Amino acid sequence: MSIDLSHIRLGTSSWAYEGWRGLVYQQTYPKSRFSQDALAEYASYGTDGIPLFRTVGIDHSFYRPASAMQLAHYASQVPEDFRFCSKVWEDITIPAYAHHPRYGAKAGKPNPQFLDAGAFRDLVWAPAQESLRSKLGPFIFEFQRWGMEPAAFLDALDRFLGALPPGSQYAIEVRNPAILGLRYLNILHTHRVSHVYNHWTAMPPLSEQHRLLDQTFTADHVVIRLLTPLGLAHEKAVEQYAPYDRIIAPQSRMRQDTTALVQQVVVRRKSAYVLVNNRAEGCSPLTIQALVAGLS
């Protein structure tokens, strides 16, 4: 089944990888400006004048909210049809801070801003609305595997989604398979929010996630993130795959499941965002090229 790729936005989890020089990047950038200024070349990369990447993930905003000025600079480098998928600051999505040096004095303590809709609106949503405007795609809320029991988490998630600013696209990425089920499905459907189909270490295959969600899409937008091989920890993938300049370990089922999901999205007249991480197979631009070949 050939798919009209105009219904699909393909892109990578981030764009600033030195290993893509000679593949995506032909220009020379000062090292201090590479991550800031390479987006224009990223967005124009393709064949026969047709860009391959029509979206990208802003992953660094998970660790600190991006400023309006920073986002405006990103937006200035890409065409009007381009969309940014912004990961939401972890202070909104973690119930407690891990015992990790980067948290400093907060390490091990409860997080007072967990699922705080006001903090999200002021610190994340407002700068993105101001600067990205029509180029703003889904906000991605990533929830870690541990932290809350599923029932309590779903109660809190339902309240949170009901308090979010209307009119934006939202997507929920859970990494605890126990959450996938009817109640989670109903909450997402009620609030018109997408599940993030995430191909990640400890999650079931993409097709199984869709089965657990009753083969149903809960919003007009569908987000798919290809992150790591199943069963392989992120740190191991980094160790094995860097510097991300070639495919190391093709994931045939991941590709097949992604293609099948995208086909269903298009048949149901919804839009798909497919974000690929280097840690999925070794080089996300080459994984995307393989996905395009499978969809054509």
Residue (of 37, 32, 46) closest to 15 by Cα position? 37
Residue 2 predicted with pLDDT over 90: no
* Residue-level pLDDT at 146: 82
The set of residues, in sequence order, having a beta carbon less than 8 Å from that of 240 and lying 6+ positions away, is: 248, 249, 282
Q: Which residues pair with 275 in a beta bridge?
A: 11, 225
Residue 9 predicted with pLDDT over 70: yes
Rounded percentage of the chain residues whose pLDDT exceeds 90 = 89
DSSP annotation of 167 reads T
Which residue would you say has higher pLDDT here, 294 or 253? 253
- Please give the mean pLDDT across all residues of the chain: 95
DSSP annotation of 207 reads H
* Residue-level pLDDT at 12: 98
Residue 56 predicted with pLDDT over 60: yes
Q: What is the pLDDT of residues 120-177, one digit of tens each?
A: 999 999 999 999 999 999 999 999 988 889 999 999 999 999 999 999 999 999 999 9
φ, ψ dihedrals at 274, nearest 5°: -115, 115
DSSP annotation of 40 reads H
**Pairwise CA distance, residues 154 & 90, whole Å:** 18
- As a whole number, mean pLDDT of residues 1-18 equals 85
Q: Please give the model's pTM, rounded to 2 decimal places.
A: 0.96
- Assign 37 a pLDDT band (cuts: 50, 70, 90): very high
Q: What is the pLDDT of residues 58-77, one digit of tens each?
A: 999 999 999 999 999 999 99
* Residue-level pLDDT at 1: 55
The angle subtended at Cα 217 by Cα 84 and Cα 273, nearest 5°, is 20
Residue 219 predicted with pLDDT over 90: yes
φ, ψ dihedrals at 199, nearest 5°: -90, 95
- As a whole number, mean pLDDT of residues 82-103 equals 94
Phi-psi sector, 215: left (phi>0), alpha (psi -120 to 50), beta: left
Task: Tell me if the domain spanning 5-295 has CATH number 3.20.20.410.
Answer: yes
DSSP annotation of 194 reads E
What are the tokens at 16? 């600033």
Which residue would you say has higher pLDDT here, 241 or 105? 241
- Assign 5 a pLDDT band (cuts: 50, 70, 90): confident
What are the tokens at 276? 């690929």
**Pairwise CA distance, residues 167 & 233, whole Å:** 36
- Assign 7 a pLDDT band (cuts: 50, 70, 90): confident
- Assign 53 a pLDDT band (cuts: 50, 70, 90): very high
* Residue-level pLDDT at 236: 95
